[in-house]
Each structure stands twice: as C-alpha cells, then as structure tokens.
Amino acid sequence: MNVFDIIGPVMIGPSSSHTAGAARIGRMARHLLGEPVVKAHVLLAGSFASTYRGHGTDRAIMAGIMNMKPDDKRIRNSLEIAREKGIDFAMEPGEIENCHPNTARISLVGETGKKLVMQASSVGGGNIMITEINGLRVDISGQYLTLVVVHKDVPGMIAIVTTAMAENGMNIFNFTLSRDKKGGTAVMTIEVDGEVGESINGIISKLPNVSSSTLIKPL
C-alpha cells in the first residue's frame, strides 16, 4: 500500500469492482489473445449479471476487449465504438457454478482466427483474478509479470521449463500447476521478478511437450 492506493486509482466510475476491475478483465483477455478482436461473447455471472446495467460493467468489459485502460473516457461509449468497428459481440447475463460474485467468462476470436476463453473475477478495489484460460485453472492477479505455459502432463516438465527460465535470468517467486487429467493437458502459472522480453515465449514454446507459452505483463 502506498499513497496512490489511497488517492487513486484514476478511473472511470462508478465502481472500482464493477467498472474499473471489469475493464481490466476485458483488457487482460485482449492481451492474452494477442491480436485485435473481431468476435466477442461475454457471459456475466453473479453480481455482474444482476447489476451490470447500472454499473456500466458491459461497457467496461467491451472497452477492455478493445484495449482501453480503466481510465479511458471512451468506456462510456464503448458498445457504440465496438459496433462502429464491426466487432461481432454479445453480452449475456447467466450463471457460472461456484464462482466469485463478480465474474465474467470472455470468449474471443481474433483477426487471424485465434481463439481464447478466459474466466476472471473482479475481487475488489479494481483488483482482478484470472481463474481459467481455455478451460484450465489458473490464478493470475495481473499485478506481476506472469508466464503461462500450457504443456502435456509428462514427468520432468517443471525442471525443463524452469531450467530454461533460469538460463534466461528469470527469477521465479510464485509457481502453480494444474492439469485436466493425468497425462492430459497441464498449465503452469509462473510469476517472475523484473523485466522479461517477449522472446522468452519463443524459447519456452520450442521445448518438448510444450504447446504454448504466453507472457502476461501487469495491466
């Protein structure tokens, strides 16, 4: 906590959780996809579903999907802007089992056809938690540089990936791993210190049994 956690953040109102956090969730999805969005479906759950109209949650998420920051004045008109850009989008209030009260599941298609499904929650004060990427469980706050590595669940993967990271000067301070089933698809969520370039993705994704590597910068 510092002075700017008390005086700040600068944000578009009315709510840090339902508006500012929602915009960050949308922007996180856009960054994970890594390219401009042509199609978006947003499932709003819990309090997001029941109160999104009054808080502009739909506008904030859509603004984030178009890479706007939580203090961007265009958030207020983001749905109109998305229509003008020709983005095919839908906002649907619904239910997601066992989720935090402020949760959205965002499905995106990018301009080259790349797809992403991300589930995230707004956990208060504009902070967020990404809990699922393409069906795999993760825990990403988006406050730190995070490497997400999707790979086959075979022995030795942690050693292989972390050795490559160490060789590239990366210091790990938090590590989690989950998998869908034994021998199936697994995902490592690795939070690291300092500055790391996008080039690490190329190095990690070439490792055996790794299907993708994505570096998420703090947003």
Q: Residue count at the site for another protein (CB under 8 A)?
A: 32
Q: Does 10 bind another protein (CB under 8 A)?
A: yes
**Terminal Cα distance for the chain, rounded:** 17
**162 lies in the site for another protein, by CB under 8 A:** no
Cα torsion angle, 35, 38, 43, 49, sign:
positive
Q: Least CB distance from residue 23 to another protein, whole Å? A: 11
Quick check: 51 binds another protein (CB under 8 A)? yes
6 binds another protein (CB under 8 A): yes
The answer to whether the CB of 60 falls within 8 A of the CB of 26 is: yes
For residue 56, state whether it binds another protein (rule: CB under 8 A).
yes
Q: Does 14 bind another protein (CB under 8 A)?
A: yes
Q: Which tokens belong to 57?
A: 């949650």
Q: Which of 40, 91, 94 shows the shortest CA–CA distance to 65?
A: 40
Q: Are strands 88-94 and 210-216 parallel, antiparallel or unpaired?
A: unpaired
Joined tokens for residue 139:
């825990």
Binding mask 60-99 toward another protein (x if CB under 8 A, else -) reads: -----------x-x-xx-----------------------
Joined tokens for residue 55:
């808080």
In whole angstroms, give the CA distance from residue 26 to residue 155.
35
16 contributes a contact to another protein by CB under 8 A: yes
Name the one range near another protein by CB under 8 A: 120-128, 138-146, 194-202, 207-215: 120-128
- 112: which 2 tokens? 């080259």
φ and ψ at 7, to 5 degrees?
-95, 90
* 168 to 187: interface string for another protein, x by CB under 8 A: --------------------
Q: How far is the CB of 121 from another protein (least distance, A)?
A: 15
Q: Which residues contact another protein by CB under 8 A?
A: 1-4, 6-16, 19-20, 47, 50-51, 53-56, 59, 71, 73, 75-76, 124-126
